[in-house]
Amino acid sequence: MEATNIFKTKPKEQKTGIKKSFPVTGMTCAACASSVESILSHTDGVNKAIVNFASNSVLVDYDETISEEKLQNALREVGYDIIIDADDPVEAQQELQQKHYQDIKNRTIWSAILTLPIFVLGMFFMQWEPGKWISLVLAIPILFWFGRSFFINAFKQAKRGKANMDTLVALSTGIAFLFSVFNTLFPEFWLNRAIEPHVYYEAATVIITFISLGKLLEERAKSNTSSAIKKLMGLQPKTLKIIENGLEKEIPISEVQVGQTILVRPGEKIPVDGEVSKGSSYVDESMITGEPVPVQKSKEEKVFAGTVNQKGSFQFKAEKVGGETLLSQIIKMVQEAQGSKAPVQKLVDKIAGIFVPIVLGISIVTFIVWMSVGGDNAFSQALLTSVAVLVIACPCALGLATPTAIMVGIGKGAENNILIKDAESLELGHKVNAVILDKTGTITEGKPLVTDIFWKHKLENKNEYKEILLAIESQSEHPLAEAVVNHLKEENIVQAEITSFESITGKGVKAKSENGSKYYVGNHKLMVEKNIQIDASLIQTAESLEEKAKTVIFLGNENQVLAILAIADRIKETSKKAIATLQERGIEVYMLTGDNNKTASAVANQVGISNYQGEVMPSDKAAFVEKLQTDGKIVAMVGDGINDSHALAQANVSIAMGKGSDIAMDVAKMTLITSDLQSIPKALELSKRTVLGIRQNLFWAFIYNIIGIPIAAGVLYPVNGFLLDPMIAGAAMAFSSVSVVANSLRLKRVKL
């Protein structure tokens, strides 16, 4: 099978100008995000502005002619702000974000504490007169202090001629509260008309508390999104050592210049991009390639910032510093990809934008009609019916429809070893029609293992040779030596004694045992160079193993090859079955890997993937995700390494392997705890069931409103003289909420 070339992307037109990301403060909802985006986009000199509501940041593409202060002033005029003058803007924003989260948390806790006695009094002690006054005192701080953000946001929306969920919350709770205050202060007004003056403090406060809890959970999820960027930044050391006039000198990374010679010792991170000028070592480049085997670096070979030096020491010349390094580019790309998806306006908010004006209109019309036809009690009946309309249209059922289903869905996911961090990905999962898989650590185990050992025919004393092999590989710096050592230790082999050890660069090692015999461990080239005889059968076996993309190591003495060892990254047992399940559901499966094309081909063949590509850079993965999205695909990206972080951020649904890097898990919206690919079909099925639950909930919430609002308006009065008491409206509202929650809980019993 030939690798399908799946990289045919059109070059993008780039607008010139400054492209910079700013932390934004003052955003509390998705509508705020679109408002910030709109204001900046319409500012003179700004080409484009993209707000990332999840990370509270805005990416602005603007001309050199305008200042950052102008951008800041444009937002300050409407109550938002961007951080431009702080030493570390990101850190300043995180402090503000943490403060905001803590503020919401405190408000929610205090709101819940004060709501509890109001609820008890309203439900079980309705006729107790002092209870009304106690509820009034407790309700004031809940609504106008702990719940003030709903009224502020509703006012902001009203100024722009819009309505959202906050508008509905502010209206329903505000009207219920004012009506209750009137009934508490002037009960005679209703008693004189033979009407019981009920109060609805519990309805107003319960709504505020529940929706505050939803906002708290949302804010908590948001506060974790920037940790990926922080960890990526942490890959770069703060200081580095340069060689100047033959002397070693430590300087901050901000001061390093192109052309300076930098010293890297064993275990240190490489601070900037450059070219090796002296010495050699093995470097772990898994953050770029995703491959677990460190790469040998010697003179004139390139090294990259953030990669980790292994056992050797070397010097290199700095070529790219600051924002030009590959690591800085990855950070920038992840930031841009996270922000490139415009915030999804929640379905309920969209509904509220239509629903609120309609409910208001019905309430006003109800009042006018009853004032016209109500006779002697026209005002009281008009007031009761119009309030009943607003109370029964209360957003509890609508507001609970989505979060309850999602909370149950997230819990169900956790039961099946799927951690879901973001509701959006759970909502989108059922639409996925293309899945991109990384190879190393995703399809495969992610660590080199000895898969086979083949000994020379009729060879005796195999255990003795294993002891010598263990002794040699224990001293070797080669990254594959560790796999051999681990394999032999599992067999309980005891290490022999060796008297000398010599590394032969690029070929292998040479050693001498206690009895003076020479041994060689290395590649085929070393055996040929030392004229060591290899059996034809072993050569044939070695060729067959290499065709399967396995690395072959030879063990020989002075005369003959004693054994060959095959080392490979083993495919997970469940990978093939999971891929077949996805393909059966009509989902296209792709594999992208930084490994060579030969290995990519071998792995793809074994698991049944026809679309694959080897030798892929992190930016190529993200470009391919974008290409599929341009073609109208809903893309799920599955990866485990830093090299996957850009593609994970770009994808519609991002899934990380639980045994992968922290950065991949931070960027991804879902994490598979067991790193078992069979969890992916389960996650997509869970999404399907959750979305179905949300739709059912919204249906019931609407049916309830379609039936309840006309009854509250008094359509049955001409037929049977029935007028809906606001108290009954409140109870009906509570029932609708219970039915929505009960429907969501059904998801718990679903088998994935």
97: its two tokens: 């974000």
Q: Assess whether 356 and 369 both reside in one domain.
A: yes
- Establish if 293 belongs to a structural domain: yes
Q: Assess whether 166 and 209 both reside in one domain.
A: yes
- Establish if 545 belongs to a structural domain: yes
Domain boundary among the residues 75, 107, 122 is at: 75
Whose tokens are 């649904």? That residue is 653
Contact 592, 621 (CB under 8 A): yes
Question: What's the number of domains the chain is made of?
Answer: 5
Strand spans (E) along 362-496:
418-420, 434-438, 444-455
Q: Assess whether 562 and 490 both reside in one domain.
A: yes
Cα(252)–Cα(141) distance, integer angstroms: 51
Exactly one of 273, 284, 438, 640 is catalytic; which is it?
A: 438
Domain boundary among the residues 504, 535, 569 is at: 569
φ, ψ at 8 (rounded to 5°): -125, 70
User: What was the pLDDT predicted at 301?
Assistant: 92
Q: Assess whether 101 and 221 both reside in one domain.
A: yes
- Establish if 540 belongs to a structural domain: yes
User: What was the pLDDT predicted at 13?
Assistant: 43
CATH number at residue 267: 2.70.150.10
Cα(172)–Cα(92) distance, integer angstroms: 37
Q: Assess whether 198 and 346 both reside in one domain.
A: yes
User: What was the pLDDT predicted at 625?
Assistant: 94
Contacts of 514 (CB under 8 A, 6+ apart): 496, 497, 498, 499
Cα(570)–Cα(445) distance, integer angstroms: 6
- pTM to 2 decimals? 0.65
- Pairing outcome for strands 653-657 and 635-639: parallel
Report which of 248, 250, 151 is spatially closest to residue 207, judged by C-alpha positions.
151
DSSP for 12-72, please give it.
Answer: PPPPPSEEEEEEEES--SHHHHHHHHHHHHTSTTEEEEEEETTTTEEEEEE-TTS-HHHHH
- Establish if 296 belongs to a structural domain: yes
Contact 183, 727 (CB under 8 A): no
Residue 273 Ramachandran class (φ > 0 left, ψ -120 to 50 alpha, else beta): beta
Contact 297, 322 (CB under 8 A): no
**Is the Cα torsion angle 539, 542, 548, 549 positive or negative in sign?**
negative
Q: Assess whether 179 and 53 both reside in one domain.
A: no
Q: Assess whether 466 and 374 both reside in one domain.
A: no
- Contacts for 299-304 with beta carbons within 8 Å, 24 or more apart? 300/275, 300/276, 301/275, 301/276, 302/273, 302/274, 302/275, 302/276, 303/264, 303/270, 303/273, 303/274, 303/275, 303/276, 304/270, 304/273
User: What was the pLDDT predicted at 578?
Assistant: 95
Domain boundary among the residues 335, 358, 376 is at: 335
Q: Assess whether 647 and 724 both reside in one domain.
A: no
Q: Is 533 helix (H, G, I), strand (E, B) or coil?
A: strand
Q: Assess whether 713 and 622 both reside in one domain.
A: no
User: What was the pLDDT predicted at 28?
Assistant: 65
Contact 337, 622 (CB under 8 A): yes
Cα(551)–Cα(573) distance, integer angstroms: 20
CATH number at residue 426: 3.40.50.1000
Catalytic site includes residue 676: no
Strand spans (E) along 174-327:
239-244, 247-252, 261-264, 273-279, 281-284, 295-297, 302-303, 308-309, 314-320
- Establish if 279 belongs to a structural domain: yes
- Establish if 142 belongs to a structural domain: yes
Q: Assess whether 558 and 474 both reside in one domain.
A: yes
Cα(561)–Cα(554) distance, integer angstroms: 7
Report which of 440, 435, 443, 445 is spatially closest to residue 607, judged by C-alpha positions.
443
- Establish if 89 belongs to a structural domain: no
Cα(101)–Cα(708) distance, integer angstroms: 37
Cα(744)–Cα(359) distance, integer angstroms: 26
- Establish if 91 belongs to a structural domain: no
User: What was the pLDDT predicted at 610?
Assistant: 93
Cα(182)–Cα(189) distance, integer angstroms: 9
Q: Is 688 helix (H, G, I), strand (E, B) or coil?
A: helix
Sites in the chain below the pLDDT cut of 70 = 1-16, 28-31, 52-55, 86-91, 93, 160, 163-165, 214, 217-233, 287, 289-292, 332-353, 375-377, 380, 391, 394-400, 403, 661, 725-734, 737
Cα(183)–Cα(127) distance, integer angstroms: 13
> How far lies 210's CA from each of 147, 409, 605, in Å?
11, 19, 52
Contact 243, 305 (CB under 8 A): no
Q: Assess whether 331 and 347 both reside in one domain.
A: no
499: its two tokens: 């008297």
User: What was the pLDDT predicted at 50?
Assistant: 81
Q: How big is the CA angle at 322 (ends 320 and 326), to the nearest 5 degrees?
A: 55
Contacts of 751 (CB under 8 A, 6+ apart): none
Cα(462)–Cα(657) distance, integer angstroms: 39
Report which of 310, 222, 230 is spatially closest to residue 270, judged by C-alpha positions.
310
User: What was the pLDDT predicted at 397?
Assistant: 67
Q: Assess whether 218 and 346 both reside in one domain.
A: yes
Q: Which domain holds residue 262?
A: 235-335
Kindly give the residue spans of alpha helices, DSSP state H, lying in 279-346: 286-289, 326-340
> How far lies 427's CA from each of 421, 540, 633, 653, in Å?
12, 53, 16, 10
Report which of 623, 618, 624, 617 is spatially closest to residue 590, judged by C-alpha positions.
624
Contacts of 190 (CB under 8 A, 6+ apart): 183, 196, 197, 380
Cα(505)–Cα(509) distance, integer angstroms: 8
